[in-house]
Structure 1
């Protein structure tokens, strides 16, 4: 018997949204939500989407002041709408809430087995009392991060906004029946007492096209793709690569963030460092599959590492290319059986590790990459991970 879920999402459904964005795009959140949807579909759920694209406000982060309503069709089982709203700073959240409430009046909420909310987004959480008055369906919140721990600028406006968001989250959390957290440490800040809760660090949609390695005579390269935020350690990787003094290896970087200008300047002076900007996801997957090594240079310093799981771990592992990453508090220990790691997070140690891996036998490198890929495909697929959540909802 097919069940139904009402899914409040923030995916970016069309290429035009990416083209109009200014600065980094939220590809990681987009990928995770699509994997969640696929997991529900694979477990015999029909999904109705109410979508608010995760885009920045006009004019500093997005080129258009108005987002128009559009229908979404991801598959036969996954359909919905992107709502219309005025995309102005702060004001947009009030408009979105009012528009969501109007839209919900056209839904028969009693026909759903569950109402699912991705992230602690203010307009979503403000709807919870209204939703609970109209349905006995279980309400589920998936929290990919914590309010105030997502790397927002530390200024008065953001502190004020985070305070409001935290108050709304705290007061309306009582209407959530099931919390899905990305790490165990989140329970330090999210009161799950008397609630059902589950830790799911992430998942991978196994139907995603994974590029095969292409045999060619091109120079081998180390690859990093993701946020170029300073706290993610990208400049440490660049410095370590230069220090390693490779003659037969390049460093390829994709992404955007506050260190972009520095990386561009360095790449202009060093021909072995290639900065490719933000690329479509299929190109990123291809670059990862054909790299010699994938690196996540994010160090364990900073409280935020307890409350996050780098989504690139799934992309890195499923590429079949070996990965180097540090031991972060938000990553379960089982992952470190399938990658290179180091307790010493200094730039000097990273340079030595890069050189050490470069000297390793190709068979051993391929074997490690293959085992990492199989680990994710068999144990962390969207079908497997979402089935854990469904069991909790049903019980």
Structure 2
């Protein structure tokens, strides 16, 4: 099999660049995991990958950051140079990313380009490369713009999508309902199971001797459903503790809640392994639900622990009865589901179904699906 050379344009933000550019809040571990999963999936299917990250951290300070070279799953990862001035930073990043792509193509011809969403700093780079070199381009469509407030940034992304959409050759969507947006070959990749974490889960001796533990690890904003979980606590009467990781800005007077803030990812993984219940609470009643998928589930699933999720249509379509569900974004229903798990003391045979989801979404299998749509 001939090795394909793929350039992957995205906004991967690893810990090594966070420490250099000093903006932890811009780092999304779930997004990073998805990007890393696609890299290793392609690598498992005889591809060479060069990752170019725009390195935009949403900062607003007068500073210039130099180009930075690292590695991601054994493949070269280059953070483009960046400048901390709004709008100028986007234009700067476009030029820096295209310069990097041009340098890579000169050394080794690029067969395909995958770019993350219709973000101008990567979408226009892919478009220019197609015009100049004839390289097929694939959009990785994540979340869309439905959750963004009306602003100049939203307008720019919408216009970018309108301009670039007619020129794409294929698409990767994050949920099955987004497929209808595209007339080109499309594959839904909701996430990728991290095989290293999967092996760690199966090798770990879970510490389940203490108090019943409920873990929420995800975005701490309204659309992610954190307030549904917090509201549910008034209906939960049994002894338990609730651990919440990531970000800042939420408050509660409930003494059972531990607000842990940002943690090293290895520590978050340890918490997931040892939790009794893992909660995914993204709102069903939101435009965001039609264009997104809670990728946090791909971190929860390998643990084999009880997972409680809002009944998002695409989650139910994907996981079927491997998860526990609650309806109507209801805090009381969420509490009822968690309480039933506590009192029944079993996972209703869901471990086998979670194991099946792991097998179906390991890197080699995901890579085979990706290769179907790459020219």
- TM normalised by structure 1 equals 0.86
Q: Given the superposition, is the C-alpha separation of residues 375 and 65 from structure 1 closer, same or farther in structure 2, using an over 3 Å criterion?
A: farther
1:129, 1:172 within 8 Å by CA — same for their partners in 2? yes
> 36, 39, 47: which one pairs with 1:37?
39
Aligned twin of 2:362: 381
Q: Assess, with a 3 A threshold, how the Cα gap between structure 1 residues 18 and 333 changes in structure 2: closer, same or farther.
A: farther
Retained in 2: the 8 A contact 1:70–1:82?
yes
Evaluate the alpha carbon distance shift between residue 301 and residue 217 of structure 1 in structure 2; reply closer, same or farther with a 3 A threshold: same
- Is the Cα–Cα contact under 8 Å of residues 241 and 354 in structure 1 kept in the other structure? no
1:215 Cα deviation after fit: 3.2
Mapped partners of 1:235, 1:130: distance in 2: 43
Aligned to 1:28: 30
Per-residue deviation, residues 82-124 of structure 1 (Å, max 9, x unmatched): 1111122222001111222333332336722211112222022
Structure 2: 5+ residue runs without aligned partners?
A: none
How large is the Cα RMSD of the aligned pairs?
2.3
Q: Which residue of 2 aligns with 1:297?
A: 281
The 3-state SS of whatever aligns with 2:347 is helix
Select 1:196's aligned residue among 185, 199, 207: 185
Instruction: Classify 1:168/1:256 alpha carbon distance in 2 versus 1 (closer, same or farther; 3 Å).
Output: same
Is the 2:216–2:278 Cα contact (8 Å) retained in structure 1?
yes
Report what 2:152 is aligned to. 160
Give the equivalent residue in structure 2 for 1:9. 10
In the aligned structure 2, how far is the partner of 1:334 from the partner of 1:50? 30
Q: CA deviation at 1:270?
A: 2.9
- Output the CA distance in 1 between the equivalents of 2:73 and 2:24: 29
- In structure 2, the residue matched to 1:145 is 143
How far did residue 344 of structure 1 move?
Answer: 4.7
**What's the CA shift for 1:25?**
2.7
Displacement of 1:287 in angstroms is 0.5
**Deviations 1:182-212 (Å, cap 9, x if unpaired)?**
1232245x3x22x222222222221336342
Distance 1:128 1:15 in 2: 26
1:91 maps to which residue?
88
- Cα displacement (A) at 1:160: 1.9
Mapped contact 1:204–1:314 kept (Cα < 8 A)? yes
Matching of residues 232-381 of structure 1 within 5 Å: 232-246=224-238, 248-256=239-247, 260-262=249-251, 266=252, 269-361=253-345, 364-365=346-347, 367-368=349-350, 370-381=351-362
**Once the 2 structures are TM-superposed, how far is the Cα of residue 133 of structure 1 from its aligned partner?**
3.0
Distance 1:184 1:216 in 2: 36
Normalised by the size of structure 2, how large is the TM-score?
0.90
Contact map agreement 2:130 2:136 (CA 8 A) in 1: no
Task: For residue 277 of structure 1, report the CA deviation from its aligned partner.
Answer: 0.7
Alpha-carbon distance between aligned partners in 1 of 2:208 and 2:174, rounded to the nearest angstrom: 39
Distance 2:15 2:262 in 1: 16
Give the Cα separation in 2 of the matches to 1:53 and 1:330: 30
Relative to structure 1, the CA distance from residue 253 to residue 372 in structure 2 (aligned partners, 3 Å threshold; closer, same or farther) is farther
Q: Distance in 2 between matches of 1:216 and 1:321?
A: 11
Structure 1: runs of 5+ lacking an equivalent: none
Tell me the residue number matched to 1:186: 178
User: What is the alpha-carbon distance in structure 2 between the residues aligned to residue 179 and residue 216 of structure 1?
Assistant: 42
Partner Cα separation in structure 2 for residue 129 and residue 160 of structure 1: 22
